[in-house]
Structure 1
Amino acid sequence: MPENAPYNLDNASFRDSVATIGDDGKRNWIYPKKPSGRYHTYRLIASIVFLSFLFTGPFLQIDGHPMFLFNILERKFIIFGFPFWPQDFFLFVLAMLTFFVFIILFTAIFGRLWCGWACPQTIFMEMVFRKIEYWIEGDAGSQKKLNNQNWTSEKIAKKASKHFLFFLISFIISNTFLAYIIGVERLWQLMEHGPARHSGTFIALVLFTSVFYGVFSRFREQVCLVVCPYGRLQGVLLDRNSVVIAYDYTRGEQRGKITKNSVRKEGDCIDCSLCVQVCPTGIDIRNGTQLECVNCTACIDACDHVMDKVGFEKGLIRYASENEIANKSKFKFTGRIAGYSLVLAVLFTVLASFVAFRSDVEATILRTPGQLYQLIGEDSISNLYNIQLVNKTFKDIPVTLVLNGFKGKIRYVGNELSDLKRDSVSSAVFFLVLPRNEIDQSKTKVSFTLSSEGKPLQNIETYFMGVK
């Protein structure tokens, strides 16, 4: 440990439990002071952009279709206007793997920047629900005083108003997520018909509204500390070169109150504890990187304000790596980062290639289960097949099926293949009739070509059963 590291790290009992749990095992309710400053302003702007995108997303359309749809029930997905089907599941797996590697690389370089600036939990908690709480109940001191006083008409009015708005916003959030799942048009229909005709959907809506309300009114920062695994991965993902919100102990130690008309022998930290008072998870950032830190920058703004006030240089708490603090070294592109970058580049290239060359139509041909071959006269054999086709586009596609390499015939049972309706699954049943003299074994591989207006879409192979 550096010689002038924070003085209370030798007996770092603060690492034995999270900051929101007291010695008696009960929860310490956090009353963070209202944050302000340049970083808070930047985060507020970023949050407005994020929330605007989130709440307008279900209404955005491309060529009459939603930009985003995650219909798990009907297994239809639209991402940036491109439809995806269960047949594209391998793309989702590859995309998730690419995303995980990106998160690992991003965290190794920038720490938990995501948590403070883009995580929906942090944005909703700090930029929506906490703002309402400040507006109705006041700053930290007023909130604590209100909670400790007896139930008066003022307390009842404030608590009722706050929790009504909390539940209302939770209801809006639930409806927004429902719109992403079933689509806006379907959501309007549910609202028009009422809960009686769609009791299952209504129960799910109430359930998720209650969950969101419970999270943002009571559970709060415990989501980041207990539920979310991302913070616990810091010990694996971060190293001394990772940029985190850090206290510059080389400047700040030893701490001491500031006095007028005296030569200061202590460090720049005047031990005002404002960095602790504004923290939404209740930690002391001067103790170093901790599980609870969500990189919200509130401590940076508070400390910069104090440094300005006492005439010291800003940046006592700032975005920095441990190596920058201890050794004044600049960012290094390490072998670890290079390895992650290489893996990410390979995964992204493979994913982009699969998406770019993805077929508009996917077809599967299988012999009808339980059916044997049929002898037609003395010179022909037939097999019965089912073909299923998925049109992955938003346009009708005319298709034809052609047999390759055999002088056989395709005879449809019922309707022939013609136009595949947009964004749908089609099927057909047909007999494949082959000359008996072309079948010299009990199981013969046959190939079909699915075409659209003369353009091959897919080659499909299956087996033809016959007489040896």
Structure 2
Amino acid sequence: MEEEFRDRIATVNEAGKRVWVYPKKPKGKFTNRRKWLSYSLLLFLLTAPFIKINGDQLIEINIIERKFSLFGATFWPQDLYLFAIMLIIFIVFVILFTIIYGRLFCGWFCPQTIFMEFVFRQIEYWIDGDWTQQKALDKAPWNAQKWGKRILKHSIFWIISFIIANVFLAYIIGSTTLLKIITEPVQLHIGGLFSMGIFTTIFYFVFARLREQVCTTICPYGRLQGVLLDQNSMVVAYDYVRGEDRGKFRKGEDREAVKKGDCIDCAQCVHVCPTGIDIRNGTQLECVNCTACIDACDTMMDGVGLEKGLIRFVSENGIKNRTRFQWTRRVVSYTVLLAVLIGVWITMLVMREDFSTTILRQRGSTFQITQNNDISNIFEVDLTNKTKEHFEVKLISTDPRVQLELANKTLELPGEKHIRERFLARFPYSVIEKGTQKMDVIILGNGKEIDRVKIKLIGPSF
């Protein structure tokens, strides 16, 4: 098989110029399944920031307040290790998923693909027509009809991009804050409106111009396929054993007698491809496993009376040796690792404390001698309440000789808030030995112990 096509991506010609892709509108069972899945995911993506569980967003990544919500669970900077483990689990999952099913995530679950193929592309089909009509419109002179269609299409693109940008912002700053900004006078949020315009422009540019270039050249996940896929990976592939040699269909012809394969060289698989490749050339990094070529090929095979499945989900070994998917040692190893990581993460999530305390000596301070010849140390206490309960906080020492005095006599800690306060530890000389002494500080919340932290007292060493 010729391999020259691998020297460059399908959407760039030999001169290095962009080759615009006009994919034919796909039809078939896989396309219908993708529609149901895509519109379900779209509904989830657009509504998740506005769904509340126990007063918190379903999903929120509030970088400003350093608060993260995930399906009703709230995470704070102190829970960063849980996010780190979750990120590792996600990476292992992606690796395992790609080893087994190739780039299926890109074609079926990726937001870029979902918005492009089932929102923006559908609008384009509605306004400009199918692929041949789009080609003709691009080549046509600029008349009233072309101007009208271009203005209408790109205006709708811009409005949808603006909506996406607002939903994206709701994930970052919270839907409550976003709705407040929207309902308040514009002059109060000029900077925010400018930022929103930038995000809208970016989304518009991605879906109106970049399109498949995001999948073929920008997204790093596509590049991973070269090291993750093997001959047992299930991908959308052309059965060259059955399909070659290609030849046009002739009614009543015995294709086997004239040494023709089942591929009738209709190029329908190429016409429907959203990344502009020819799947018959073999597995390619640009393929997002969208299955549009499967539907197109099955339609043609059914039309000429040949068996479906010339293009299907299959591994290289499945084509060559007619074998089914096999659980290799690599797949089993990643599966076991993934199961262990998920178990560790769930255990840590269950054992996560609802209240976090950090006590550090005030920066730049040592100790002071009071008028009563006592020693005093100044500390800063950081309190994080991960629950929705309101706490009245008090600090007491496990050593009755050590008195702890807060800067504010009453320390209020609202639910899901973080506060920082200073306190003074005053104690007699007899408490310290050789200049230092360790002790515990008990944190009481509404009269009950909610945390205990060890601190180090310092004083004169003589």
TM tier relative to shorter chain? over 0.9
Q: What's the secondary structure of 1:432's corresponding residue?
A: strand
Alignment of 1:45-194 (within 5 A): 45-194=36-185
Q: What's the secondary structure of 2:384's corresponding residue?
A: strand
The whole-number CA distance in structure 2 between the counterparts of 1:194 and 1:200 is 13
- Conserved in 1, the CA contact under 8 Å of 2:396 and 2:403? no
- Conserved in 2, the CA contact under 8 Å of 1:416 and 1:428? no
1:191-229: CA deviation from partner (whole Å, max 9, x where unpaired): 222432112211111001111111111111000011101
> Which among 309, 314, 318 is matched to residue 315 of structure 1?
309
The whole-number CA distance in structure 2 between the counterparts of 1:124 and 1:43 is 12
Q: Which amino acid aligns with 1:36?
A: K
| Alignment partner of 1:410 is 2:395 | no
- Conserved in 1, the CA contact under 8 Å of 2:212 and 2:274? yes
1:363-395: CA deviation from partner (whole Å, max 9, x where unpaired): 111222333323346774221222120111222
With 391-400 and 289-298 compared, the bigger mean Cα shift is at 391-400
- Conserved in 1, the CA contact under 8 Å of 2:398 and 2:441? yes
Structure 1 runs not aligned, ≥5 long: 1-8
Structure 1 residues 277 and 199, CA gap change in structure 2 (3 angstroms): same
1:57: Cα distance to partner?
0.9
Q: Which amino acid aligns with 1:114?
A: F
- Conserved in 1, the CA contact under 8 Å of 2:375 and 2:459? yes
1:398: Cα distance to partner?
4.1
State the match for 2:443 in structure 1: 450
Q: What's the secondary structure of 2:188's corresponding residue?
A: coil
Q: Which amino acid aligns with 2:127?
A: I
The whole-number CA distance in structure 2 between the counterparts of 1:87 and 1:35 is 48
State the match for 1:14 in structure 2: 5
The whole-number CA distance in structure 1 between the counterparts of 2:448 and 2:171 is 35
TM-score, with length taken from structure 2? 0.95
1:131: Cα distance to partner?
0.5
> Which among 383, 393, 415 is matched to residue 389 of structure 1?
383
The whole-number CA distance in structure 1 between the counterparts of 2:392 and 2:306 is 74
| Alignment partner of 1:343 is 2:337 | yes
1:190: Cα distance to partner?
1.5
Q: What's the secondary structure of 1:197's corresponding residue?
A: helix
Q: Which amino acid aligns with 1:426?
A: I
State the match for 2:432 in structure 1: 439
The whole-number CA distance in structure 1 between the counterparts of 2:369 and 2:439 is 18
Q: Which amino acid aligns with 1:106?
A: F
The whole-number CA distance in structure 2 between the counterparts of 1:109 and 1:406 is 63
- Conserved in 2, the CA contact under 8 Å of 1:379 and 1:437? no
| Alignment partner of 1:421 is 2:414 | yes
Alignment of 1:222-261 (within 5 A): 222-261=213-252
The whole-number CA distance in structure 2 between the counterparts of 1:65 and 1:94 is 23
| Alignment partner of 1:401 is 2:401 | no
Structure 1 residues 446 and 290, CA gap change in structure 2 (3 angstroms): same
Alignment of 1:294-333 (within 5 A): 294-333=288-327
Structure 1 residues 25 and 413, CA gap change in structure 2 (3 angstroms): closer
Q: What's the secondary structure of 1:230's corresponding residue?
A: helix
1:455: Cα distance to partner?
5.2
The whole-number CA distance in structure 1 between the counterparts of 2:358 and 2:315 is 54
| Alignment partner of 1:367 is 2:361 | yes
Structure 2 runs not aligned, ≥5 long: none
1:446: Cα distance to partner?
2.0
1:184: Cα distance to partner?
2.1
| Alignment partner of 1:467 is 2:453 | no
The whole-number CA distance in structure 2 between the counterparts of 1:87 and 1:298 is 45
Structure 1 residues 205 and 378, CA gap change in structure 2 (3 angstroms): closer
1:456: Cα distance to partner?
4.1
The whole-number CA distance in structure 1 between the counterparts of 2:366 and 2:83 is 38
- What value does the CA root-mean-square deviation take over the aligned residues? 1.6
1:94: Cα distance to partner?
1.7
The whole-number CA distance in structure 2 between the counterparts of 1:167 and 1:460 is 54
| Residue identity (%) | 48
- Conserved in 2, the CA contact under 8 Å of 1:406 and 1:434? no
Q: Which amino acid aligns with 2:379?
A: Y
With 428-437 and 30-39 compared, the bigger mean Cα shift is at 428-437
1:95: Cα distance to partner?
1.2
Q: Which amino acid aligns with 1:366?
A: L
The whole-number CA distance in structure 2 between the counterparts of 1:451 and 1:243 is 57
- Conserved in 1, the CA contact under 8 Å of 2:161 and 2:203? yes
The whole-number CA distance in structure 2 between the counterparts of 1:121 and 1:426 is 39
Structure 1 residues 151 and 87, CA gap change in structure 2 (3 angstroms): same
1:291: Cα distance to partner?
0.9
Q: Which amino acid aligns with 1:364?
A: T
> Which among 9, 21, 24 is matched to residue 15 of structure 2?
24
- Conserved in 2, the CA contact under 8 Å of 1:359 and 1:457? no
The whole-number CA distance in structure 2 between the counterparts of 1:330 and 1:466 is 74
State the match for 1:36 in structure 2: 27
The whole-number CA distance in structure 2 between the counterparts of 1:208 and 1:114 is 25
Structure 1 residues 426 and 323, CA gap change in structure 2 (3 angstroms): same
1:118-157: CA deviation from partner (whole Å, max 9, x where unpaired): 1011111111111011111111000000100101111111
1:63: Cα distance to partner?
2.3
| Alignment partner of 1:209 is 2:200 | yes
The whole-number CA distance in structure 2 between the counterparts of 1:438 and 1:101 is 52
- Conserved in 2, the CA contact under 8 Å of 1:440 and 1:467? no
Q: What's the secondary structure of 2:186's corresponding residue?
A: coil
1:406: Cα distance to partner?
5.6
Q: What's the secondary structure of 2:220's corresponding residue?
A: coil
The whole-number CA distance in structure 2 between the counterparts of 1:284 and 1:455 is 69
The whole-number CA distance in structure 1 between the counterparts of 2:361 and 2:68 is 29
The whole-number CA distance in structure 2 between the counterparts of 1:53 and 1:270 is 41
1:454: Cα distance to partner?
6.4
The whole-number CA distance in structure 2 between the counterparts of 1:18 and 1:290 is 9
Q: How many residues align?
A: 458
With 335-344 and 127-136 compared, the bigger mean Cα shift is at 335-344
